[in-house]
Amino acid sequence: MGVTLLTFLLYTGFVAFYATWQLRRDELDTQDGYFLGGRSLTGVVIAGSLLLTNISTEHLVGMNGSAYRNGAIIIAWEVTSALALIVGALYFAPKYLKMGLTTIPEFLEKRFDGLTRTIVALLLIISFVATLLPIVLYTGALNIEAIFEISDLLNISEREGIWVTILVVGIIGAVYAIFGGLKMVAYTDTINGFGLLIAGLLVPVLALLHIGAGNPLEGLSRVFENSPEKFNVISQEPGIGPGSRSAILPFEVLFTGLVINQIYFWTMHQSIVQRVLGAVSLKEAQKGLLFTGLLKILVPSIIVLPGLIGFYYYGESLYDNPDSVYPLLVKKVLPLWLTGFFVAVMMGAIFSTFNSTLNSAATVFSLGIYKRYIQPTAGELRLVRVGKWTSAILAFFAIGIAPFVANAPEGLYQLLQQLNGIFFIPIASVISAGFLFPRVSATGAKAGLAFGLVFYVLMDYGLAVDMHFVHLWGIEFVLNLIVMHVVSYLTPKDPTFIMHDAGKLNLKPWKYAKVFSVMLVVLTLAFYLSLGNV
């Protein structure tokens, strides 16, 4: 335990020192400096930050647990992200940076009106506090408790150990977000992002070396031969219908709601897009997005393969608690001297998603609600202070909610996605209409938001229709657009929206963006074709 704690403290201390040193000359009391990192982020920093903002313990624990129980079909959440990132790099990033946006709701005010911006801002904040932040904290605490056994160290129950871990991680994460702003988050993300790739790959590599008696390829072959059906990314488990609610992720959802969710998350979600908005130029923004797309194709080796290896070791014995598979595997294969480094990187992943989300929520509230309705004359220093207090308050609520997300019937990652559908699809439909359909009015946009919220909650939770929730996303998206068009036709027209150049950044695109995008499409298709024939 002494060696584990030492490596943990050394790595964590190095990351904190590096980020603090990098920020020593930055102005963090200005709007752009605190919320957008001074609009100075480069492609590598953006890619590292995007990866770690996205990949956190809800992936390491939740997706590996789902892969253990349901097989590699869950991989669709990750691999298809590359296609959405292409859309973000080639279509959305040029438009966002041309307008000089600080938040996504800010675009909605320019395109529709202030009330639409406010409604979406509130929905974003609620979604952060009610879904993402608590699940990130809980899965992180679950993993740390399983590896470090905090409850034994403190002589308390396991539940109390998870509570203590949630409290400590939440407080430290909040301090990072409150005092460092976006640039602190981005710098720590970059180091921890590479650390996560190294540590995350060590788990399956060491496991396969163990299984294959020193030969990782032989180990992979044995894992495959043990359960070849779990490697197929297209077919369903025997007895589960492709459209059934019980199918974890039917292949056909790739062509309905999943594509909408991916485009929303990677091109419209505030915590993701905020890195793009903080880019030093369009060229660097496109590099960051496309580099992230390449990494996302490689990421399943970290957040899916260990789950399949877990099935080799444990069989069906953990089906009732799939989220325990990854922590058990880590304890089984990692030597003690590496465990501290792994936990430090995992803590970094928790901090990244937690900090990023807090920073995004603070940005949305400070600029979209506080400055608009509470104190319109607020200066930059005042807005930064409000942002810090917002982060602190939201962190407090997230810490309080986190322990109550345990025992999700289909696993924590699946719970997160189902809850996200309440907010993501209505917002995605309104933003999409704002860009693609000039005739949709502000009244139509608000009608689409209201209809989408009611429709999804009613269909997935109220009536509990026998349809996979991702299919519901696709249906809801189309119906939202229809409602927006009908209401817009029946109500007075808005003035035509004209996108103006704010003149804040160099908008020259990266000359290799299209070539890199074609390569990502080919890699994604090759990946699916290879595993689809398993």
Tell me how far apart the alpha carbons of residues 121 and 372 are, in angstroms, rounded to a whole number.
12
Angle 39-368-501 from CA coordinates, rounded to 5°: 45
| pLDDT category of residue 289 using cuts at 50, 70 and 90 | very high
Q: Give φ, ψ of 370 to 5 degrees.
A: -60, -50
Report pLDDT for 194.
76
Report pLDDT for 244.
37
Report pLDDT for 238.
39
Tell me how far apart the alpha carbons of residues 373 and 155 are, in angstroms, rounded to a whole number.
49
pLDDT in tens, 4-41: 777 777 877 777 777 677 666 655 555 655 655 567 78
**Does 519 have pLDDT greater than 90?**
yes
Residue with tokens 């590359």: 82
Over residues 396-412, the mean pLDDT reads 71
DSSP state of 498: -
b/e for 42-54, b at 16 or more Cβ within 10 A?
bbebbbbbbbbbb
Report pLDDT for 23.
64
Tell me how far apart the alpha carbons of residues 108 and 434 are, in angstroms, rounded to a whole number.
7
Residue whose C-alpha is closest to residue 305's, from 223, 234, 226: 223
Query: In terms of C-beta density within 10 A (0-12 exposed, 13-18 middle, 19 or more buried), how is residue 279 classed?
Result: buried
**Does 93 have pLDDT greater than 90?**
yes
| pLDDT category of residue 411 using cuts at 50, 70 and 90 | low
From first CA to last CA, the distance across the chain in angstroms is 42
Q: Give φ, ψ of 441 to 5 degrees.
A: -95, 175
DSSP state of 234: S
Report pLDDT for 391.
86
Kindly report whether the global pTM for this prediction surpasses the value 0.75.
Answer: yes
Tell me how far apart the alpha carbons of residues 298 and 288 are, in angstroms, rounded to a whole number.
16
Report pLDDT for 434.
94
**Does 458 have pLDDT greater than 60?**
yes
Residue with tokens 């650390």: 195
Residue whose C-alpha is closest to residue 46's, from 348, 350, 359, 284: 284
pLDDT in tens, 31-80: 655 655 567 788 888 888 788 777 776 678 778 888 888 888 888 778 88
Report pLDDT for 239.
36
The answer to whether residues 23 and 186 touch, using CB atoms and an 8 Å cutoff, is no
Over residues 181-206, the mean pLDDT reads 77
Q: What is the mean pLDDT of the chain?
A: 82
Report pLDDT for 246.
44
Tell me how far apart the alpha carbons of residues 470 and 417 are, in angstroms, rounded to a whole number.
9
Residue 253 vs residues 152, 208, 257, 270: alpha-carbon distances, Å: 44, 32, 6, 24
Residues 6+ apart with CB under 8 A from 337: 3, 4, 7
Tell me how far apart the alpha carbons of residues 100 and 150 are, in angstroms, rounded to a whole number.
46
Report pLDDT for 74.
80
Residue with tokens 């991680």: 169
**Does 241 have pLDDT greater than 50?**
no
**Does 409 have pLDDT greater than 50?**
no
Residue with tokens 């496991």: 207
64-78, 125-139, 364-378, 397-411: lowest mean pLDDT where? Answer: 397-411
Higher pLDDT, 461 or 137: 137
**Does 298 have pLDDT greater than 60?**
yes
Query: In terms of C-beta density within 10 A (0-12 exposed, 13-18 middle, 19 or more buried), how is residue 158 classed?
Result: middle
Report pLDDT for 514.
95
Most confidently modeled of 220-234, 367-381, 411-425, 474-488?
Answer: 474-488
Report pLDDT for 513.
95
Q: At what angle do helices 257-267 and 469-490 cross, to 10 degrees?
A: 70
| pLDDT category of residue 137 using cuts at 50, 70 and 90 | confident
Higher pLDDT, 332 or 76: 332
**Does 437 have pLDDT greater than 90?**
yes
| pLDDT category of residue 242 using cuts at 50, 70 and 90 | very low
b/e for 514-525, b at 16 or more Cβ within 10 A?
eebbeebeebbe
281, β-bridge pairs: 506
* Domains detected in the chain: 1-406+509-532 (1.20.1730.10)
Higher pLDDT, 412 or 429: 429
Residues 6+ apart with CB under 8 A from 393: none
Residue with tokens 């001297």: 337
Report pLDDT for 24.
60
Tell me how far apart the alpha carbons of residues 147 and 339 are, in angstroms, rounded to a whole number.
8
